[in-house]
Amino acid sequence: MPELLYREALNQALREEMRRDPRIFLMGEEVGFYNGAFKVSKGLLDEFGVRRVIDTPITEAGFTGVGIGAALVGLRPIIEMMTFNFAILALDQIVNNAVKIRYMSGGQLAVPIVIRGPGGPSRQLGAQHSQSLESLFCHIAGLSVVAPATPRDAKGLLKSAIRQNNPIIFIEGQELYSTKGDVPDGDYTIPIGRAEIKREGTDVTVIAWSKMLLLALRAAEQLARDGISAEVIDLRTLKPVDYDTLLGSVRKTGRAVIVEEGWEFCGLGAQIATDLYRRAFDAFDAPVERVTGYDVPMPYARHLEQQALPTAERVIEAVKKTLYR
């Protein structure tokens, strides 16, 4: 099983799917001649040409709308946002067109579109480029949201997303592109809507996604040295949530900590905690704890940026709080 960078796994998924189906095309800022801002589309222009790898102006609402129109006439567009911070400019297209057309047409029209790109804070990009917006997209009825943390999952989930017939938001952690991991040879997919236990444990369930999974696993390693066994679950698909996997784990451990990079108020973790309480209240031996980014615009200064984001130490503190230590 070869080891690939996260960006290489995504590139493989795009290349394999574009070879499989000539209706698939990629469109976005600098995806072609520049090979993508994060080199995810490296080499695709050379192989597939300018009709299927399309560089656009800086017009997120415009090229997202073009993609929706293309999907309506039978093509299968992949729209790359240079960063999901810029997807804010295309919210009307996403929310009022891509998501609602199938519903409002009584199922007569489908919009098979994947909107993908980097999300979440990176290093010293400032307040306007360092936002975790997954809760915003999860709020929209009819929109699926995927956020893989590993190269294997990134490839398998992107291939599944491309084959869906409904719009999907596919968020790639901006600081994950240079991480490495094993990726199976050949064609494989990972089902949308299925979480995965990345580390078995018995004392507490730690739920995370995207870059926060790596943080949770580091915390679990440190907790193990203190004799605490943390089960770490990678949510992978943020909507729909795989509650069967989450409930199976919390019924075993009796405790849960949810780790997310975004702001606390109205965060996705609040919804997950509510649903866990609603479905398995009697299973809990302690309240669900949440570890989130602080409720401030992201500072530019590096030392302040680090203070605004979740840390392994905060995860450890939350876990020990659930254990009354």
Residues labelled catalytic = 60, 129
List the one residue out of 254, 261, 262, 202 whose CA is nearest residue 232: 202
Show Cβ contacts of residue 34 under 8 Å, excluding neighbours closer than 6 positions: 55
Question: In whole angstroms, what is the distance from residue 14 CA to residue 47 CA?
Answer: 12
